[in-house]
Structure 1
Amino acid sequence: MPPAGASESFTIAVIPDTQQETWSDTDTRLADRSTWLVNNATKLNLKYVTHIGDVVDWGNAAPEQYTRAQKGLAPLKGKIPYSLTIGNHDTAAVCQGGSACPGVNTNLAVRDTKAFNTAFPLNTFPTIKGAYEPGKVDNTYSTFTAAGQKWMVLNLELWPRQGAIDWAKKIVAANPDHNIIISTHAYLNGDATISTSNGGYGATSPKHLYDTLIKVYPNIKIVVSGHTGTAATRTDTGTNGNKIISLMQTYHSRTTNPVRLITINVANGTLKNWVYAPKTNETLAPETTTTGLNFTR
């Protein structure tokens, strides 16, 4: 496992879809991952953890899944700042067994996140500085400092409503001195292309999000997502000539507990990333390095 290195380097962790880790009380993979991150925080210089959604599988119909998710993420509390992104399985659009709810208007149900917000209320996350909708974690932004720079994690609902995108644009534009990391559940396809689909019941597509938000602002540096595929990486050039790194990690594992680790060296303008699974002590995606990045100071 690569060390974080000098003080100008630090790591953020991305937890992929954990829905299958909430099926059983005897499954400790989620808690084990959280504990591993806490135990290795100093070695990695770990500054932030974000989850890209599908925290549970059908929590609206099985509230015990939220209880298991709460316990599984509890080791992070007070140890490492973290935030959660809402996936389709975290909404009222998904019912028993993980399938779409019969007879339900999924376009409306996908925005019904009451159960999620009850399990993980806004005050769970002390680094959150603002939300699109008062009292809801569906669209939020959090800030932290690392390597002498300001960073922001912008958690956006999947296939976001235009109002949420417009809100995000205002936040990004108002904080040009922050390096922005966007976490949204659905963005890349399994082949690393940016999806042009709204999933059949979302408001907009990832391509629309890219065209109207991600490529427009030079301080947007990284996009992380899940939902489909296994693991993928792509690099885009924004309107202002800046590199944008997009990382997809999904896995839907029934045996281990993957986590994407991203180590950023602001002085060298590099980003190393790999996927490690603590339970089975295996590297699922080998380390790759992206160079030529310019971070906002």
Structure 2
Amino acid sequence: MFSSGHYGPAVSSNRRSFLVSAGLLGAGAAVSSATPALADPSSQSGFWCPDGENPRFTIAVIPDTQYLYDEDRGDSAPLDASLRYIVDTAGEHNTVFVAHLGDLTEHGEPREFDQVSRTFRYLDQRTVGYSVLAGNHDIDSGKDDQRGPSAFTATFNPARFRTSPTFRGATKDGYNSYHVFRAAGRDWLVLALDWRPSAGGIQWAKDVLRKHPRSPVILTTHEFVHADSGDGTAQLSDFGQRLWDQLVKGSDQIFLTLNGHFWPPGRVVLRNDAGHDVHAHITNYQDRYYGGSGMIRLYRFDVERGTIDVETLSPWLLGQRPDRLNELAHQEIERTGPADAFAVPIDFKARFAGFDPRPEPPARPAKDLLVPGTVAYWRFDAKNPRDMSGNGNDLVAQKFPNDPQWSDEHHPDQPGHGSVFLNGSYFKTVPGAPMNRSTFPRGYTIEAFFKVSPNFGDTNTWSSLLSRLGTGADAGKTGDDPKEPVATLSVTGGHGVQWAVFPLNQNRISTNWGHEMPLDKWWHVAVVNDGRTTTVYIDGSKLLRNPSTPAVGISTANDSWLVGAYTYDRKVDKVYYGWIGDVRVVDHALEVSRFMLYR
């Protein structure tokens, strides 16, 4: 099996500066002329304290290192440098775990394991969570995990991991282990399985999963998929097929598998018995320059963004002066081909819902949302558009020409668990409603939950979530276009929001602009005026284009407010197409922490 090609380096100066400060430069002599000197990892200092609640975290993966630990022909400097890099960048990357994929050594001899043990002592001394497993070069590859004691089990055994923050247990033979780390506010489990787990080893793995039924699982083993086609597409090996049939496809918790053994690298998405994706990746660079140059993979998880960004690099080469590297070394500093640097999209909540459903927060009573100064509060979970504040600002449905459609859909953080779908209809405050006259001179907070229909088109562009009937001219304003409504919170052609208002202290329109947002997704918008300036927030995040020119209050023509319609020259011109959830209006500026979005 052969490598699929060379990829040029992509190294930034700030990254190199970090490596200088981290002490990696000079870790070995220039590879262009001599074998690097053996480094002493215990002489380096590091910091290991991952943030288990941060939705962004990293898992460092180390593929086959066998040629670096090959009798008297090896060199530990590349892997020494990789482990120092992992530890020294742990705070920057929020690295929570390190996984080796097997074939630590070339022959599995005690002296080779003595060498690799010395390298991994660097992680032991810093209580770094890591796993190792046996590859075919580490043990008698003709036998399964019942082969008996070996240099591997003499070196990497439960006794060694007694101070590990992640080690949770192993099979009696010592060849299979499991580890648990905390990340993104939950426990994640790593299975580190032997080169050839026996039936008992596989049953042990199933028992581990049964005891941790709500943990997402990453399976690491030496052989599972290969990418012999050379196009980066992986497929199950013969043994991988057996492991898939006996363990993986029936264990919905396993969402990612990582293996070495073969080259070139590749990946594939498999479908398990539950109909869910299992991402299977092979990473191995032993066939590359200098036995793979201590190449590592960084799996950067971003749970909120629903992505794993994957990066492949050699810290050993990256940390050396470019003018001292030979031509081959330059090719291996960082690998950027599609099989080496890529993104894996995963909706983690949906993917894990089958074994770890997160219960939806219960609806909140309307009275809990009636903060002091609430002018109006409309929620559509009871199919009743009355004003929950008790101030009499009730709504009346207006057909244009269709009836409103009541729905159970809602933003996950919305107080009321319901919405109204508008497609040719809107609501209007009743005649004589108190808020029809209000000018909000002390400021205001207007909030709404909404989801724009995926079929939203030109006929709906610039329709309003909430607007005020009456023109600028009706309110005595002559600037800009006096036929525009005195106030409107609109959805733009770019699927953003815009707040446009004739303030009391201006003769022209003051506008706040949002950014383009995906359709068919629930959002929360808040327009906050502190009595002087106005700021718009989306999902609690401040937007950019908020004017600093004072805009005091909201002009009025003493007419109704509209939910779901925009008027021009007092005529309904555009109707909103989508869902609207809870809407609240308060007569002063609220802190972000008091938005309906938060509990």
- TM-score interval for Structure 1 and Structure 2 normalised by the shorter chain: 0.7 to 0.9
3-state SS of 2:103 partner: coil
Map of 1:236 onto structure 2: 270
CA contact (8 A) 1:230 1:250 kept: yes
Structure with larger RCO (C-alpha < 8 A, sep 6+): 1
The worse-fitting range, judged by mean Cα deviation, of 49-58 and 121-130 is 121-130
CA contact (8 A) 2:100 2:132 kept: yes
- Of 158, 172, 178, the residue aligned with 1:122 is 158
Q: State yes or no: 1:40 paired with 2:79.
A: no
1:254 Cα deviation after fit: 4.7
Q: TM-score, normalised by structure 2?
A: 0.43
3-state SS of 2:121 partner: helix
1:174 Cα deviation after fit: 2.5
Q: State yes or no: 1:227 paired with 2:261.
A: yes
Q: Deviations over 1:146-172 (max 9, x none)?
A: 110111110111232122111111211
Distance (whole Å) between structure 1 residues aligned to residue 198 and residue 75 of structure 2? 37
Q: Deviations over 1:25-78 (max 9, x none)?
A: 754111111111111111111000010100111133xx2211110122222122
Distance (whole Å) between structure 1 residues aligned to residue 144 and residue 348 of structure 2? 40
- Deviation >4 Å, runs of 4+: 1-4
3-state SS of 2:118 partner: helix
Q: Deviations over 1:198-241 (max 9, x none)?
A: xxxxxxx2111112211212211110100111311111122212
CA contact (8 A) 1:157 1:185 kept: yes
Map of 1:194 onto structure 2: 236
Map of 1:199 onto structure 2: none
Map of 1:179 onto structure 2: 216
1:64 maps to amino acid: R
The worse-fitting range, judged by mean Cα deviation, of 12-21 and 76-85 is 76-85
Distance (whole Å) between structure 1 residues aligned to residue 211 and residue 146 of structure 2? 29
Q: Assess, with a 3 A threshold, how the Cα gap between structure 1 residues 109 and 179 changes in structure 2: closer, same or farther.
A: closer
- Of 273, 291, 294, the residue aligned with 2:345 is 291
1:108 Cα deviation after fit: 6.5
Map of 2:399 onto structure 1: none
Q: TM-score, normalised by structure 1?
A: 0.84
2:169 maps to amino acid: G
Map of 2:106 onto structure 1: 57
1:269 Cα deviation after fit: 2.3
Q: State yes or no: 1:258 paired with 2:307.
A: no
Q: State yes or no: 1:83 paired with 2:131.
A: yes
2:345 maps to amino acid: T
CA contact (8 A) 2:77 2:316 kept: no
Q: State yes or no: 1:218 paired with 2:218.
A: no
2:99 maps to amino acid: T
CA contact (8 A) 1:31 1:71 kept: no
- Of 126, 131, 134, the residue aligned with 2:170 is 131
The worse-fitting range, judged by mean Cα deviation, of 168-177 and 21-30 is 21-30
1:257 Cα deviation after fit: 1.2
Distance (whole Å) between structure 2 residues aligned to residue 16 and residue 110 of structure 1? 24
Q: Assess, with a 3 A threshold, how the Cα gap between structure 1 residues 179 and 158 changes in structure 2: closer, same or farther.
A: same
1:290 Cα deviation after fit: 1.4
3-state SS of 1:64 partner: helix
Q: State yes or no: 1:165 paired with 2:202.
A: yes
The worse-fitting range, judged by mean Cα deviation, of 8-17 and 214-223 is 214-223
Q: Assess, with a 3 A threshold, how the Cα gap between structure 1 residues 211 and 38 changes in structure 2: closer, same or farther.
A: same
Q: Assess, with a 3 A threshold, how the Cα gap between structure 1 residues 26 and 193 changes in structure 2: closer, same or farther.
A: closer
3-state SS of 1:92 partner: coil
1:79 Cα deviation after fit: 4.2
1:109 Cα deviation after fit: 9.2
3-state SS of 1:85 partner: coil
1:140 Cα deviation after fit: 1.0
Q: Assess, with a 3 A threshold, how the Cα gap between structure 1 residues 44 and 109 changes in structure 2: closer, same or farther.
A: closer
1:128 Cα deviation after fit: 2.0
Bigger-Rg structure (1/2) = 2
CA contact (8 A) 1:185 1:227 kept: yes
1:117 maps to amino acid: T
Distance (whole Å) between structure 2 residues aligned to residue 165 and residue 218 of structure 1? 15
3-state SS of 2:316 partner: coil
Distance (whole Å) between structure 1 residues aligned to residue 236 and residue 128 of structure 2? 30
Distance (whole Å) between structure 1 residues aligned to residue 241 and residue 145 of structure 2? 23
| Residue correspondences, number | 273
Query: 5+ residue gaps in structure 1?
Result: 94-105, 197-204
1:110 Cα deviation after fit: 8.3
Distance (whole Å) between structure 1 residues aligned to residue 118 and residue 143 of structure 2? 30
Map of 1:156 onto structure 2: 193
Q: State yes or no: 1:66 paired with 2:113.
A: yes
Q: Give the percent of matched residue pairs that are identical in Structure 1 and Structure 2.
A: 27
Higher helix share: 1
The worse-fitting range, judged by mean Cα deviation, of 217-226 and 285-294 is 285-294
Map of 2:183 onto structure 1: 146
1:122 maps to amino acid: P
Q: Assess, with a 3 A threshold, how the Cα gap between structure 1 residues 113 and 160 changes in structure 2: closer, same or farther.
A: same
Mapping for residues 1-12 of structure 1, pairs under 5 Å: 7-12=54-59
Q: Assess, with a 3 A threshold, how the Cα gap between structure 1 residues 17 and 113 changes in structure 2: closer, same or farther.
A: farther
CA contact (8 A) 2:169 2:178 kept: yes
2:160 maps to amino acid: T
